[in-house]
Amino acid sequence: MKIVIFGLSITSSWGNGHATTFRALCRALHALGHHIIFYEKNSEWYANNRDLPNPNFCEARVFEDWDAVRPNARHEMRDADVALVGSYFPCGASVIDEVFESRAAVKAFYDIDTPITLGQLREAGSTSYLKATQVPGFDLYFSFTGGPMLQEIESRFGARRAVPLYCSFDPERYHRFPTHKRYECDLSYMGTYAPDRQPKIEELLCLPARRLPGLRFLVAGPQYPKTIRWPENVRRLVHLNPRWHAQFYSSSRLTLNVTRRDMMQAGWSPSVRLFEAAACAAPILSDNWPGLDAFFQPGEEILLPTSADDVVYYLREVEEAELRRIGVRAQERVLAEHTSSRRARQFELAIQQALHSADKRALA
């Protein structure tokens, strides 16, 4: 298939989770023989922090002005099997109209921010990248969030078909590595700063760090305010290139996952860090949310602390052998269900079903 994608970023993972998601999916689709063209609007933020400027699994078309690149995009979509627009794509509404007018066989939207998107559609009828009136025009609405929200996308906003397309990981890049001295720690956390996540990081990482001054804690991610007072035994990494993520998780005795409020309230919204950490057999501590047990079995494949006391207990009292068993069970689970190759096959199947439905509509 020829697949034309309009996404937030694939060349820079700095401060966004879109790039790692698109990289895993596009790399797997490329391995299956598909040709991918990826349009990304240039921005100073990403231009100064590009960790994959020339991906070898797709043609990255980085542009400055949509009107200038529009004729080229029209040309590419003339014989495209799939034209897909991702959430938060700049000028998204205008690009979507162009996709609808194209001859692409399947027109799809990939919502990596579903709870945020639906919240704005409910309140204002539009976002900066999608109008509510555009939702019914897509053959497929791929969503990072599963569960009841899929039904709302169809029943309230008129999507023809809403299907989950969760994030994934590449097992060739994410697996257990020997401990790396730079990232060795008792508890780690990786994530861009978000005000709604910080109170949980304070509770589940900073408070345990203060109570356990002899242990080592590590926080990686950009945009944290300088006003945050980290405990002395918390080391900070402003940004970690994705090529080191697996070593980061492999060197963590435990690693923490904290979910954005919108995603937590919606449920069924696993972050890529869950799957990547599990792929490295890192025992995961996570906040709890509806649908989490559809991805990991609590107590067996993931630990769900509710307070700093729980974290201190896991760090001080749980035997290392049991922590390793939890990490290995999580690894087995994601290898069976959440690899990038499995996600690419799910993408292929959804496209085939959309084509079949389009044929049926044409004959009706």
* pLDDT (tens digit per residue) in 118-168: 999 999 999 999 999 999 999 999 999 999 999 999 999 999 999 999 999
- Position 126 scores a pLDDT of 97
- Position 363 scores a pLDDT of 54
- Position 36 scores a pLDDT of 98
- Position 46 scores a pLDDT of 73
**2-168+340-363 belongs to which CATH class?**
alpha beta
- Position 48 scores a pLDDT of 76
- Position 51 scores a pLDDT of 86
Cross-strand partners of 110: 86, 142
252-257 vs 185-190, strand pairing mode: parallel
Here the tokens at position 50 are: 């590009």
Q: Which CATH architecture describes the domain 185-337?
A: 3-Layer(aba) Sandwich (3.40)
Which residue spans of the chain are classified as CATH 3.40.50.2000? 2-168+340-363, 185-337
- Position 242 scores a pLDDT of 85
Here the tokens at position 149 are: 């929200």
2-6 vs 35-41, strand pairing mode: parallel
* pLDDT (tens digit per residue) in 283-325: 999 999 999 999 999 999 999 999 999 999 999 999 999 999 9
Please tell me the pTM assigned to this model. Answer: 0.90
Q: Which residues of the chain have pLDDT under 50?
A: none
Contacts of 104 (CB under 8 A, 6+ apart): 4, 77, 80, 81, 82, 83
